Amino acid sequence: MLKRAHLIFLLILSLSAVLAFFKVPLASSQGLTLIARQVQGELPLSDPDSPLWQQATALEVPLSAQNVAKPLLLESKVRAITARLLHNQAQVAILVEWSDQTRDESTVRVQDFRDSVAVQFPLIEGQPFFCMGQQGGNVNIWHWKADWQADILARQDMENAYADMYVDQYPFANPPPGKLASAADYQDRNYLPALAAGNLFASEVRSTPVEDLVAGGFGSLTTQLPEFQNVQGFGAWADGGWRVIFSRDLSSQEVEDISFSPGKSYSISFAVWDGSNGERNGQKSTSQWVSLQFEGAPSAPAVAAPAAGSEGTWLTKERTRWILIGAFVLVILAGAFIYWRLPD
């Protein structure tokens, strides 16, 4: 026999199903939020000691070893980073700090790995999988690399690691005897295929220590084209720790880039590699998604033009939703009426 308790359960169950179907949330975020403070004037794009950074509250973000996809990192050396954000309505700057007793900024020898840090933003509404996104849920990744930072001052090559090395000869190039061949020594660039193909790793001059990438799941990490590399960076190691600044214009016209607006909320996550621990590729320490809120008044939204073909269609998606919700309210009212007629 139907009792009141059964009816209540059915009503709650059906209400839950409707809320889940229409993706109406009932729980708000409880996690920590990183605030991008709005400041006036120039941002400290290459000065981690600037007092302007003290206007942004640092958030400590815990990291854990990447144990999801091979190659795994079994034990993380970097357990947390602190992050601060500033923006001036034109540019955004992110300062990431973490403790690292060794300064690893060379990958010339095969046994050497660099220190590096990456920040990641979803390119969809909501939060895709926090490790490199997922199919249908791309992420934009900014990857700062210590060796790229060192390359800006002076491009590192084998001579830096092995000062007494001697080269017999290079085919198709004529460097001075015993010296390494530089790109300028090649008259035909096709003998330097990576450089000819525009591979960032082979570029003669580094303009930024940050690689701008896009990913949509494991194994899908893709470098954006050289002309779309628009993230700047600066890193400095001192007193057993790195301080790295990422910077970019707030908005970007590129579809594989995140665009920010004052007053809006986003998600951000972090990854750190400790070179002296042999960390590279998937062997890294990662964070979960962290809410990111940009200070400032949001700009007025553009008025959306009506979709083509929507004119003359009475049963729009919005109306269908309200009809369904109305029907559900009627069911609730009918249930409430039946409730009073049933025994306890």
Partner 1 sequence: MRSLPIYFKWLALAAFADWLVTRTLTRMAIFMPKPPAVILFYQALGFAGQAVATLAGLLALLAFGWMAWREFHSAAGRFIPAACLGAVSFNLLFLYKLPTGWLAVGYHALLLGLVLAIGRRAARSTVQSTSQKMAAIVLTLALVARELYQITPAAYQAARLAGPPAFNQVIFLSAELFALFSLLAVWWAYARTFTWKTGVLASIPALAFVAFHLLNPAMLGIISIWSTGFTLYLPWLLYAFGVWAASVVIFSATWQRSPAGWAVLLLLAGGLAPQFSVQAFLGIVALWLLSYDQNCRETKPGTAAVTAAAGQPASTG
Which residue ranges make up the site for partner 1 (CB under 8 A)?
5, 8-9, 12-13, 15-17, 19-20, 24-33, 35, 37, 53-60, 64-65, 67-69, 72, 74-75, 80, 82, 129, 131, 265, 291, 293
| Whole-number Å distance between alpha carbons of 205 and 203 | 6
| Phi, psi (degrees; rounded to nearest 5) at 233 | -160, 165
Q: Which two tokens stand for residue 328?
A: 């559900």
CB of residue 207 vs partner 1: minimum separation in angstroms?
Answer: 31
Q: How far apart are the first and last CA of the chain?
A: 11
Nearer to partner 1, 29 or 102 (CB): 29
| Coil/strand/helix, residue 181 | coil
E strand or H helix at 141: strand 139-145
Nearer to partner 1, 129 or 228 (CB): 129
CB of residue 231 vs partner 1: minimum separation in angstroms?
Answer: 25
CB of residue 265 vs partner 1: minimum separation in angstroms?
Answer: 5
| Whole-number Å distance between alpha carbons of 108 and 111 | 8
Nearer to partner 1, 151 or 279 (CB): 279
Nearer to partner 1, 149 or 283 (CB): 283
The verdict on whether omega for the bond into residue 71 sits within 30 degrees of 0, i.e. cis, is yes
Nearer to partner 1, 29 or 169 (CB): 29
CB of residue 49 vs partner 1: minimum separation in angstroms?
Answer: 13
Q: Which amino acid is at 53?
A: W
CB of residue 342 vs partner 1: minimum separation in angstroms?
Answer: 15
Tally the residues of the chain: 344
- Whole-angstrom Cα Rg for the chain: 27
